Amino acid sequence: MFCHPEERSDEGSSRRLLAGGQIPRFARDDSRALFLSAVSFGHRNREEERAMSQKQSYHMTPEEFRRHGHAVVDWIADYHRRIESFPVLSRVAPGEIRAILPASPPEHGEPFETMLSDVENLLPGITHWQSPNFFAYFPSNASFPSMLGELLSAGLGVQGMLWATSPACTELETHVLDWLGKMLGLPEKFQSASSGGGVIQDTASSSALCALLAARERSTGGKSNEQGCDGRLTAYTSTQAHSSIEKAIRVAGLGVANLRSIEVNADFAMRPEALARNISEDRRAGKTPCFVTATVGTTSSGAIDPLREIGRICREEGIWLHVDAAMMGTAALCPELRWIQEGLEAADSYCFNPHKWMFTNFDCDCFYVSDRAALIRALSVLPEYLRNRATESGAVIDYRDWQIPLGRRFRALKLWFVVRHYGIEGLRHHVRRHVELAQRFARWIEESQRFELAAPASLNLVCFRHTSGDSANERLLEKLNSGGRIYLTHTKLDGRYTLRFCVGQAQTEEQHVEEAWKRIREAAETVS
């Protein structure tokens, strides 16, 4: 039940009109809440309540679930239909959403209809990531087949920590990740039939951490797990790598002082000769280089590190190479874009996020290793209470040994649904479309007098700036985002304020990109 701050002291008022036109119910206390909801809906009538108390159960019945479930699906479908009517970026002030929530939890259960209708009151506090006018950060796109897969996963309620705790959860995951490996043209060694295999992690951050832990243990012969880090292990990534790499270094105990930020070239891609130089300097200083992360599609500018040269150095030096393709890895679905992962054969691990650009709702990161034994050695701890015959037979995968937590959700269902709904053809179609739209936007920037590209337009990401300098660009971004019709974010490249335009939401089409360009030009008139 929601209560608007101004109305908290107003005993007589029971309704208010929100900016969006909805009339939410609210109540000062739970009895009033129950009264109002009974008046408004009458769904949980006295008979139902009596039946409930007689049953001594407060659970929703399967029939109630069926009815409410249909209402939720209807709500989601309607939300997506009207999504463009909301300001893309939420406009609420800090604390504004909490202020409309009741101070205490309800003593008595509330009708489902009330709960669902109260979701409307959260909408002002939602930034609409699924809007086709969302061009900020990176996409976190979703699709209806994925949402339905997620619902089924919740419905089955499986905890798939071991093969034995739900064989289908493990085997579907292995199978779908093998499919994806083939769909993306990943090296054979990442297939489960070889020495490696794939697993679904929550995020690319977790994949980087798992890769680093496996690298650390390989490099120290298991000593780090036994005795802790001795301060000699070093790791390498470019100045443009995602912050999750530094976080992994912290969590794994290497120490940030042992992370080298490797210089990049004019296109913001890692310079292999700088990597080689840092490694040899460290060796001379008695350090033990153990981990390199290369990025396929950096967050700031979409730069693609030269995997072939980096891989050659890692092989020569016996260093674990992890490739982070969080967003742009999806592009490899299209054979003509597979050049982004040339040289991947030398990698020990690889990850990309279907929860970014492959229509699979958060969370879903696919993590592949070429030597699963190295990962399992680093992460497996087997207490008595998890022992079982299947594990001891050695014939099954227990994914708990491939990740940090013990428990795991049945995420493969949504991925399976996405792949089967779209087919390879459908996924390629939409990825190509996004790339084509972003590249068209980049051409408009190039042709314009007022704007310039800040980096080569990389697949679906365009970094650009107004020629009038940093503060004009800051004002431009503020103006665009406060207008509510589109949402972009920024970065800094070469120390200069840069706007990022990333095309990747499921429903983004030509008209959205054209409209965005029109709005950008109009807003530019007022800031330069």
Ligand X SMILES: Cc1ncc(COP(=O)(O)O)c(C=O)c1O
Output the CA angle 431-434-440, nearest 5 degrees.
140
Three-state DSSP string of 11-66: CCCCECCCCCCCCCECCCCHHHHHHHHHHHCCCCCHHHHHHHHHHCCCCCCHHHHH
- Cα within 13 Å of Cα(117), Cβ side: 16
* φ, ψ of residue 14 in degrees (nearest 5): -120, -5
User: Residues in the site for ligand X, rule: CB under 6 A?
Assistant: 138, 203-205, 242, 244, 295, 297-299, 324, 326-327, 353, 365
Compare residues 365 and 401 and give the one whose CB is closer to ligand X: 365
Residue 469 C-beta: closest distance to ligand X, Å:
27
Smallest distance from ligand X to CB 300, Å: 9
Nearest approach, Cβ of 203 to ligand X (angstroms)?
3
Least separation, in Å, of the C-beta of 489 and ligand X?
11
Closer CB to ligand X, 150 or 365, in the complex: 365
β-pairing verdict for 489-493 and 197-201? unpaired
Q: How far is the CB of 352 from ligand X (least distance, A)?
A: 9
Report the residue number, 195 or 489, with the smaller CB distance to ligand X.
Answer: 489
Query: For residues 289 and 262, is the Cβ–Cβ distance under 8 A?
Result: no
Neighbours of 450 (CB within 10 A): 15
**Cβ distance to ligand X smaller for residue 100 or 366:** 366
Report the nearest approach of ligand X to the CB of residue 487 (Å).
16
Q: Based on CB atoms, which residue is closest to ligand X, 37 or 141?
A: 141
Which residues on neighbouring strands pair with residue 233, listed in sequence order?
288
232 touches 224 (CB < 8 A): no
Please tell me the number of Cα atoms within 13 Å of 233 on its side-chain side: 28
Nearest distance, CB of residue 429 and ligand X, angstroms? 23
CB 298 within 8 A of CB 237: no
Q: Token pair of 439, please?
A: 């590249």
Nearer to ligand X, 166 or 207 (CB): 207
User: Are the C-beta atoms of residues 315 and 259 closer than 8 Å to each other?
Assistant: no
Residue the block writes with tokens 């951050």: 205
Q: Which residues contact 97 (CB under 8 A, 6 or more apart)?
A: 122, 124, 125
CB nearer to ligand X: pick between 34 and 331: 331
Q: Which is nearer to ligand X, 353 or 508 (CB)?
A: 353
Beta carbon of residue 121, minimum distance to ligand X (angstroms, whole number): 28
Rounded-to-integer distance, Cα 503 and Cα 494, Å: 23
